[in-house]
Amino acid sequence: MHKKQIIKNERIGEQYTYVKHPSGLDIYIWKMENYSTTHALFGTKYGSINTKFKTKDETDYITVPSGIAHYLEHKLFENEDCDVFSLYAKTGASANAYTTFDKTCYLFSCTDKTADSLKILLDFVQDPYFTDESVKKEQGIIGQEIRMYDDNAGWRVFFNMLQGLYHNHPVKIDIAGTVESIAEINPGLLYKCYNAFYNLNNMVLSIAGNIDEDEILEICDKHLKPNKNIELETAFEDEPENCAHAEMTGRLEIAMPLFNIGFKANPEKGIQAVRAEIETNFVLSLLADESSDFYKKLYDEGIINSSFSSEVFWGDGYFCSIFGGEARNPRLVLEKLKTEIERTKKEGLDEERFDIIKKSYYGSLIRDFNDAEAIATLMMNSGMEKLTAFDIIETVAAVTFNDVTARLKKQFNISNSSISIIEPLNKEGAE
């Protein structure tokens, strides 16, 4: 018998079920009556930044090559008998996987045969198969992928910015690693990382749709292999508060210069990180979204175009705010942005606009609760942080104008920023 914990939210009248499975796995199930689509994710808290780790029985940390988490994701789709996608073809499910900086997730969406697709998902992720021959073959495939992204201006401007912001944190390294780092990967290292990070105590199963909870749990009982909790620990080199470089530049075949401007801030964890993300998002909207005076002025003067945008980027050991887009003179954009930040710190943010943006933000979150994929992803992400799927909406509801004002002063130090610029090869697009 499973001990089910019902997680409710009175504010929006929704609930879902959490089960700590005997195998060690955290399972989240959200039943959506009358929905035709089901979305499931099986994820591990293992991303590209987790290159240094140990278990409770090990004295010293091991450091593995960059890109190995992404490499593992690729290899798990091949088992000894066949390709996993051919199995999903029989159930009609749409399957995929992704590796980010801090997680790897395997997923499927379907309209029927959910049970069969879930069995495939649980089985192949728990059944690694690596040989010298298959590992070498994958090195060529991923090497091509890395070289392709080296020529992608949007990708390069982003990672160059991260290299400008961070001295030591592995977030500055491409998720796929480098051609040199993946050349060091072998079956032994893959099994070492798999056994550490694909332990079910480090994993989450999240599923949303018109599903039968008891059927899902029955499948889990039959297909999950119990794991001993090895108490995995990850570690990072010390990261200074200041930026590594004020400016990073490169050249590629593009029509107009591309830029990312990053403002580095101290990282936070758990619910505090969620609060920091939400408050910083409000700051970004108030400072420079399409309805701000700053955006309109720079757009009218031709300094920026409609590609200009901003985002919050954070995870284990890193947190920054990013502005990016195309501009003939990116350094002028940086100068104007720093001036606007300092002006706003002195004169204050617009409280009336804050109220409007807060209602819009809250409304967009409410809409997400009507989408199986959005719900399953939210349960996955919050579950990995040991939070509930409702913590975000509760935090947004609780945020005040004073909170956002304080976040502006805390999070945006104009002397702690880095600009990354990709110039056109021919410089015709540059001023």
Please classify residue 376 by burial: count the beta carbons closer than 10 Å to its beta carbon, then call 0-12 exposed, 13-18 middle and 19+ buried.
Answer: buried
Task: Choose the final residue of a domain: 180, 207, 234.
Answer: 234
Query: Is residue 242 assigned to a domain?
Result: no
Do the Cβ atoms of 317 and 311 come closer than 8 Å?
no
Query: Is residue 225 assigned to a domain?
Result: yes
Residue 207 tokens read as 């599923």
Q: Are residues 14 and 119 in the same domain?
A: yes
CATH code of the domain in which 272 resides: 3.30.830.10
Do the Cβ atoms of 329 and 305 come closer than 8 Å?
no
Q: Are residues 17 and 126 in the same domain?
A: yes
Longest dimension (CA), the chain: 69
Query: Is residue 256 assigned to a domain?
Result: yes
What distance in Å separates the CA atoms of residue 78 and residue 67, rounded to the nearest whole number?
18
349, 353, 355, 356: CA torsion to nearest 10: -160
Q: Are residues 191 and 265 in the same domain?
A: no
End-to-end CA distance of the chain: 69
Catalytic residue list? 73
Task: Choose the final residue of a domain: 193, 210, 234.
Answer: 234
Domain total in the chain: 2
Under DSSP, is residue 282 helix (H, G, I), strand (E, B) or coil? helix
Q: Are residues 279 and 215 in the same domain?
A: no
pLDDT in tens, the chain (431 residues): 788 999 999 999 999 999 999 999 999 999 999 899 999 999 999 999 999 999 999 999 999 999 999 999 999 988 767 789 999 999 999 999 999 999 999 999 999 999 999 999 999 999 999 999 888 888 888 988 898 888 899 999 999 999 999 999 999 999 999 999 999 999 999 999 999 999 999 999 999 999 999 999 999 999 999 999 999 999 999 999 999 999 999 999 999 999 999 999 999 999 999 999 999 999 999 999 999 999 999 999 999 999 999 999 999 999 999 999 999 999 999 999 999 999 999 999 999 999 999 999 999 999 999 999 999 999 999 999 999 999 999 999 999 999 999 999 999 999 999 999 999 987 654 44
Q: Are residues 103 and 77 in the same domain?
A: yes
| Segments forming the whole domain that contains residue 269 | 247-424
Q: Are residues 258 and 201 in the same domain?
A: no
**Ramachandran assignment for 276, one of left (phi > 0), alpha (psi -120 to 50 degrees), beta (any other):** alpha
Q: What is the pLDDT of residue 137?
A: 85
Q: Are residues 251 and 229 in the same domain?
A: no
To 5 degrees, how large is the angle CA 133–CA 137–CA 138? 120
Query: Is residue 141 assigned to a domain?
Result: yes
Task: Choose the final residue of a domain: 191, 210, 234.
Answer: 234
Q: Are residues 155 and 292 in the same domain?
A: no
Query: Is residue 239 assigned to a domain?
Result: no
Query: Is residue 313 assigned to a domain?
Result: yes
Q: Are residues 40 and 145 in the same domain?
A: yes
Please classify residue 62 by burial: count the beta carbons closer than 10 Å to its beta carbon, then call 0-12 exposed, 13-18 middle and 19+ buried.
Answer: middle
Q: What is the pLDDT of residue 427?
A: 64
What distance in Å separates the CA atoms of residue 402 and residue 12, rounded to the nearest whole number?
25
Q: What is the pLDDT of residue 139?
A: 87
List residues bridging with 321 in a β-sheet.
Answer: 263, 312
